Amino acid sequence: MQKKLPIDYTIVFILGCLFTISLLAIYSGSGQYASGDPSFFIKRQLVFIVLGLIVMMVVAFFDFELLERWTWLFYLGSIFLLVLVDIIGVERNGSKRWIDVGVTELQPSEFMKIFLVLHIAMILSKIGKYRLDFKPSLWVLSKILFFTIIPLYLIWQQPDLGTTLMILFSVAALLLISSLSLKLLGILVATGITGIGTLVYLFLYQRDILESFVEAHQMARIYGWLDPEGYSRGFGYQLQQALLGIGSGQLSGSGFREGYQVQSGHIPEAHTDFIFAVIGEEFGFIGTSLVVVLFFLLIYRIITIALQANSLFGMYICVGVIALLTFQIFQNIGMTIGLMPITGLALPFVSYGGSALLTNMLAIGLVTSVHLRTKSYMFGNDEEE
């Protein structure tokens, strides 16, 4: 029997399209930051892409179920790196999120999001597929909250609101599709809705209370999001310039390296956080629609793999990856077009950056490992318990 290569051709094709768009947009949008060498960032991104593909294939080669007993080690290692950030981390733009390792900078919170998903997937897979009663569910939830709160606190202190919200979203997604008591899940949903409603109320009527526990620059981002024209000299500037760029792109865009907003340097972080604005201005509605369709196909493919998985652990891994990617995609595109507040989350597989790309490729490697080890049976494919 011929052994299958550790790749999923559908996913590889989608990633190839996204990487091509990424390299074009990075080359066009990074000119204002590349001193002397206009291809500086694209060369580095090519290195990250090659390393990411190697990481994906290596992870896909190993049986993901063997990781089940080692998730706690990955978790503890990530916690150690997050603590290390506070001690020797690199500070930039008021945030301390990176560790300088010489050739590049690592962002430990990027690795934490993957390894936390792995650890929670392990915990939930242990309880099986049958619905638990309320009290056993409460014990499992307590363990998950304990393992979640520690990294959330460390990441919040950096401060990194975007990654904090991403982790919360992924943990919530895993809980909602788990075998925990429906009564407990109902309480969690009601608590979440109440919490969001309370924040909205505080912002509208008791803003001084909200400002007492939310960082000043985070409040400024919210003001800039809600009123970009009124805060055009501050945090509203990025959004206003991005909207001008995307709007000017119209149907087919102004052309590669012909976008005025991008090439004049009016869009900050054009090759990282606001790369979607580069695509919108220079490739127009057609270019942005292509990116959205590619992301939709990628998520759909991972959903298919999750539904076909024989292993509960593998299914939970896929759901966690879906949640992580969906949140990043929605948040990054949403902040660029004014639907969401501005955070420092990159557009997966498109924005320039090493840590984010490597961890996302690691996540895809895990999904591929699940897919390659899923077997079809004539009379069902549920795993034995």
Q: Give the model confidence (pLDDT) of 285-305 as tens digits.
A: 999 999 999 999 999 999 999
Higher pLDDT, 327 or 259: 327
Mean pLDDT of 103-108: 83
Query: Do residues 121 and 94 lie in contact, with contact meaning Cβ atoms separated by under 8 Å?
Result: no
Residue 194 located in a structural domain: no
Closest C-alpha to 375, from 304, 318, 305, 310: 310
Q: How far apart are CA 252 and CA 282, in angstroms?
A: 8
pLDDT at 205 over 80: yes
Q: How far apart are CA 8 and CA 321, in angstroms?
A: 16
Residue 197 bridge partners (DSSP)? none
For a pLDDT cut of 70, what percent of the chain falls above it?
95
Q: What is the pLDDT of residue 306?
A: 95
Residue 214 located in a structural domain: no
Closest C-alpha to 242, from 272, 268, 220, 271: 268
pLDDT at 238 over 50: yes
Average pLDDT, the chain: 89
Residue 299 located in a structural domain: yes
Neighbour count for residue 217 (Cβ, 10 Å): 14
Q: What is the pLDDT of residue 352?
A: 92
Q: What is the pLDDT of residue 363?
A: 96
Residue 208 located in a structural domain: no
Query: Do residues 332 and 351 lie in contact, with contact meaning Cβ atoms separated by under 8 Å?
Result: yes
pLDDT at 1 over 50: no
Place 212 in a pLDDT band, splitting at 50, 70 and 90: confident
Closest C-alpha to 253, from 275, 278, 280, 284: 284
Q: Look up residue 257 and give its DSSP letter.
A: T
Residue 195 located in a structural domain: no
Least confident of 136-145, 158-167, 205-214, 314-323: 205-214
Residue 14 located in a structural domain: yes
Q: What is the pLDDT of residue 89?
A: 84
Place 355 in a pLDDT band, splitting at 50, 70 and 90: confident
Task: State which residues form the domain around 323.
Answer: 9-178+236-372
Cβ within 8 Å of residue 352, ≥6 positions away: 22, 26, 30, 41, 44, 45, 271, 272, 275, 346
Q: What is the pLDDT of residue 109?
A: 92
Sequence-ordered alpha helix ranges (H) in the chain: 9-29, 40-61, 71-88, 108-126, 134-156, 161-176, 182-205, 207-213, 216-226, 236-249, 260-263, 275-308, 312-336, 354-372
Closest C-alpha to 117, from 142, 148, 93, 88: 148
pLDDT at 2 over 60: no
pLDDT at 377 over 60: no
Total of domains in the chain: 1
Residue 198 located in a structural domain: no
Place 380 in a pLDDT band, splitting at 50, 70 and 90: low
Q: What is the pLDDT of residue 35?
A: 66
Place 55 in a pLDDT band, splitting at 50, 70 and 90: very high
pLDDT at 6 over 70: no
Residue 209 located in a structural domain: no
SS3 97: strand
